[in-house]
Amino acid sequence: MVEEEQQANSGETEDVVATTDQAAQVETQTSDTSAAAPPASAETQDQIGEDQPLVMPGMNWFVLRVASNKEDTVRQTLLRKIKIEGFENLVNRILVPTEKVKIIKGGKQRVQMKKLYPGYVFVEMQLEHDGRIPQDVFFLIKETTGVGDFIGTAGRPSPMSIPEIEKMLAASKAPEEEPTVKMEFQKGDHIKINDGPFENMEGTVDEMLPDQGKVRVIVTIFGRSTPVELEYWLVEKIEE
């Protein structure tokens, strides 16, 4: 469900995972409950615990569309407003899953957090018996800056399936392994080189070298097929 909706969105920012209990750690401003919340602090970025259930009793997970690159702000604002209004019994966890990605550029390495579902926030909440969002909760969410609609039909958000929930929550757990270079190439891909001495040349991916942050491509030089190792950010996949 989310993968199909996700194709038109992209974005990279910090990891964001929280529960409504963490909202007490966020500075509240009761004079304007719809104002954007401050950036997430270290205390509000805890990961999902191993002992937490997939779904809390009486609740379901739903997918909320939000403005691109506003996922963190929307999450923080909703947590704060839910705490102020006392809606913790209706809205529980609010998540923005991310992954660690190693970037190697110019021989230098850095790690950044990449959103797995840019443009979406996952909300665990309880619906009315008719399948609609409780009116007070609906307006609280809709009046939050950056919020779009829930994925669903006719005002009734569609709950996520168990496999979708498992995948999303697994991504939200604290990563224990070292981050790796994220390469979106496969052997045989047709690519174009965007910079360096081979700029504007086209070739074919022969091998990925993630430990070095490079990709080996086959290009034609003086009429002969020649393997060349390039930093992965210099290479762009050509869509067929």
Residue 172 predicted with pLDDT over 80: no
Per residue in 124-146, pLDDT (tens digit) is 999 888 878 888 998 999 899 99
Q: Do domains 2-181 and 190-237 have the same CATH topology?
A: no
DSSP 62-93: EEEEE-TT-HHHHHHHHHHHHHHHT-TTTEEE
- In our burial notation (b when 16+ CB lie closer than 10 A, e otherwise), range 99-122 reads beebbbeeeeeeebbbbbbbbbbb
Q: Which residues pair with 111 in a beta bridge?
A: 102
Mean pLDDT of 31-41: 37
Q: Find the range with the poorest average confidence among 15-29, 108-122, 221-235.
A: 15-29
190-237: CATH, from 3.40.50.720, 1.10.287.130, 1.10.3720.10, 2.30.30.30: 2.30.30.30
Q: Could you state, in order of their start, the residue ranges of all structural domains in the chain? A: 2-181, 190-237
Which of 231 and 240 is assigned the larger pLDDT?
A: 231
Per residue in 52-109, pLDDT (tens digit) is 778 888 888 999 999 988 999 999 999 999 999 999 999 999 999 877 766 655 556 6
2-181 folds as Alpha-Beta Plaits (3.30.70)
Residue 19 predicted with pLDDT over 60: no
